[in-house]
Amino acid sequence: MDISVITPAHDEGKLIGKCLRSVQSAVGQITGNVEHIVVVNRCTDETESIALAGGGRIVDEHAKNLSRIRNAGAALAEGDSLVTIEADSWMSDNMLSEVVRPLDTGRFVGGGVRTLPSVGRSASSAA
């Protein structure tokens, strides 16, 4: 199964590197092709250059609507399945294998995961 990971990003230069590395770690746990599309949204920081250096495929979308931003990435996606992750989040090493496992049964077409907040992350560092 080929997967397209889509990450909307607005001025996430401080956090997107960890997101990109986590996706790469999860890719190592599955077979198939995985592309990572980063949708750069009105960034004024180094988000785009970090995403490029981390292997992301870049698309610009200037909308102020998260659905339109994600859809800009989906429009370019070449994978059989779409996975989205926020630029200030990260995947566990087994995330993509856990996505593929139920989809491969043919009984599921989508899903979601429980997210856990970062321990010790203050509101000021989340901005």
Asked if CATH classification 3.20.20.60 holds for the domain at 3-126, the reply, yes or no, is no
The model's confidence at residue 123, banded by pLDDT at 50, 70 and 90, is very low
Instruction: Report d(CA 20, CA 7) in Å as an integer.
Output: 9
What local confidence, expressed as pLDDT, does residue 113 receive? 75
Position 28: which residue type? G
Cα–chain-centroid distance for residue 70? 10
- Residue 127: predicted pLDDT: 37
**Which runs of consecutive H residues, i.e. helices, occur in 4-122?**
16-27, 47-53, 66-76, 95-103
> Nearest 5°: CA angle at 85, between 20 and 83?
105
pLDDT band at 120 (very low <50, low <70, confident <90, very high): low
What is the residue-averaged pLDDT of the chain? Answer: 90
Q: What is the pLDDT of residues 81-109, one digit of tens each?
A: 999 999 999 999 999 999 999 988 989 88
Report whether 38 contacts 58 (CB < 8 A). Answer: yes
